[in-house]
Amino acid sequence: MEGTGTVSPAAGSIRGVTLPDPPPAEPAPFRCFGTGDPLYEAYHDTEWGRPVHGDRELYERLSLEAFQSGLSWITVLRRRETFRTAFAGFDPEAVAGFDDEDVARLMADPGIIRNRLKVEAVIANARAVVALRASGGLSELVWSHAPAPRPAPLTPDDVPGSTPESAALAKALKAAGLRFVGPTTAYATMQACGLVDDHLAHCPARR
CATH number at residue 152: 1.10.340.30
Any catalytic annotation for residue 65? yes
Active-site residue, selected from the candidate residues 41, 57, 73, 93: 73
Burial class (CB in 10 A: 0-12, 13-18, 19+), 91: middle
Any catalytic annotation for residue 187? no
Is the pLDDT score of 29 beyond 90?
no
> What's the pLDDT at 8?
43
In a domain, 1, yes or no: no
Single out the residue of 73, 67, 110 nearest to residue 90, CA to CA: 67
Cα→Cα distances 72→54, 113, 134, Å = 25, 12, 35
> What's the pLDDT at 150?
92
Interval 16-35 mean pLDDT: 73
Domain interval for residue 171: 38-192
In a domain, 61, yes or no: yes
What counts of helices (H) and strands (E) characterise the chain?
Answer: 10, 2
* pTM across the whole model: 0.85
In a domain, 46, yes or no: yes
Collapse the DSSP code of 112 into the 3-class scheme (helix H, G, I; strand E, B; otherwise coil) and give the result.
coil
In a domain, 131, yes or no: yes
Q: What is the pLDDT of residues 52-78, one digit of tens each?
A: 999 999 999 999 999 998 899 999 999
Any catalytic annotation for residue 73? yes
Active-site residue, selected from the candidate residues 43, 48, 59, 143: 43
Active-site residue, selected from the candidate residues 40, 59, 65, 187: 65
In a domain, 72, yes or no: yes
Q: Are 147 and 196 in contact (CB under 8 A)?
A: yes
Mean pLDDT of the chain: 91
Is the pLDDT score of 207 beyond 90?
no
| Spacing of C-alpha 46 from chain mean position | 11
Instruction: Tell me how far apart the terminal alpha carbons of the chain are, to the nearest angstrom.
Output: 55
* Count of domains observed in the chain: 1
Q: What is the pLDDT of residues 89-110, one digit of tens each?
A: 999 999 999 999 999 999 999 9
Task: Quote the CA–CA distance of 55 and 92 in Å, as a whole number.
Answer: 8
In a domain, 7, yes or no: no
In a domain, 3, yes or no: no
In a domain, 48, yes or no: yes
Task: Quote the CA–CA distance of 40 and 191 in Å, as a whole number.
Answer: 15
